[in-house]
Amino acid sequence: MSQERVLKSLEQVLEAFLDRVVAYKQPRLQVLEGINRLDEIARTPSQSTEITDQIGEWFAANNRLLSDDNLRAGDITRIGDILGEIKLRLDLGTDAPPAVRKISSEIDRWRTNTGRTEKITLHRPPETVPAPQSTPGPTAAQPRPVVPEDSDSIARFDRFLKHAMDLYTDYAGNKKHLLSVLDDLLTAAELRQNKDALILSGFLIYYLKLGNYKVEPFVRRLKKAEEILKGGRSNA
């Protein structure tokens, strides 16, 4: 067989292999294309009406993603987060056009169907410390404030660890390296002022530092995110 024939044959085999790769990756590719497009919409500065049109088109093209069951936990988190950012940019005043309200309700519907509903802020009363034991006089029979068992710092930290574990699982879903997880967590801490993401980032940075990773750039981002979080609170 001539060299040319051998090469032709090899070319056909390689092309056939790559065709199969594309076919095998097609469902994943559709998901990534959908996230990519949504990301572009979120990052491109544009008027509310333009976003409405673009998101409308995105929903039309990508609504099937939910029913196709190809989304990973990390994808759902990403899409939910981006849609949340986009919703914040929509002008939802009382005189908002019907199209904008429709898109807003579509975003809510998507996030509800994927279990990512609006963030709920829970308020609790200030912590109370039981008064020191003293000999009660006849007039000292005041009822003590009831201290819920989980209002102490141990229980709160326990809850934080559980939240942090869920957060880590979400962000680590499709990552190949811990540095990628850290990168996304810092982005969440910076852009969404997510305190849990900030704390978890600090934890990961220390872990990586002990593993002799170069962490200085991440430390700088951590400090910046911390300042943003403090600034956001003081301005609130």
Partner 1 sequence: MLRPEEKAYCQALLALKRKDYVGAMRYFDQAAPGFADSKEFNLYRETTRLLLVVKDKLAELANEDRIDIEEATTNG
H or E element that contains 134: none
Per DSSP, the three-state class of 82 is helix
Considering beta carbons, is residue 14 or 161 the nearer one to partner 1?
14
Closest CB 65 distance from partner 1, rounded Å: 15
Considering beta carbons, is residue 75 or 90 the nearer one to partner 1?
75
**Binding of residue 14 to partner 1 (CB under 8 A):** yes
Q: What gap in Å lies between CA 205 and CA 129, rounded to an integer?
A: 35
Count of residues near partner 1 by CB under 8 A? 31
Of 27, 52, 183, 223, which one interacts with partner 1 (CB under 8 A)?
Answer: 183
Q: What gap in Å lies between CA 135 and CA 53, rounded to an integer?
A: 72
Phi, psi (deg, nearest 5) at residue 227:
-65, -40
The piece of 103-111, 175-183, 197-205, 211-219 that touches partner 1 (CB under 8 A) is 175-183
Of 27, 32, 109, 131, which one interacts with partner 1 (CB under 8 A)?
Answer: 32
Is the separation of the CB atoms in 41 and 33 below 8 Å? Answer: no
Residues with Cβ within 8 Å of residue 118, at least 6 apart in sequence? 108, 111
Is the separation of the CB atoms in 228 and 190 below 8 Å? Answer: yes
Q: What gap in Å lies between CA 73 and CA 70, rounded to an integer?
A: 10
**Binding of residue 22 to partner 1 (CB under 8 A):** yes
**Binding of residue 16 to partner 1 (CB under 8 A):** no
**Binding of residue 88 to partner 1 (CB under 8 A):** no
Q: Could you list the residues that contact partner 1 (CB under 8 A)?
A: 2-4, 7-8, 10-11, 14-15, 17-18, 21-22, 25, 29, 32-33, 35-36, 38-39, 42, 78, 81-82, 176-177, 180, 183-184, 187
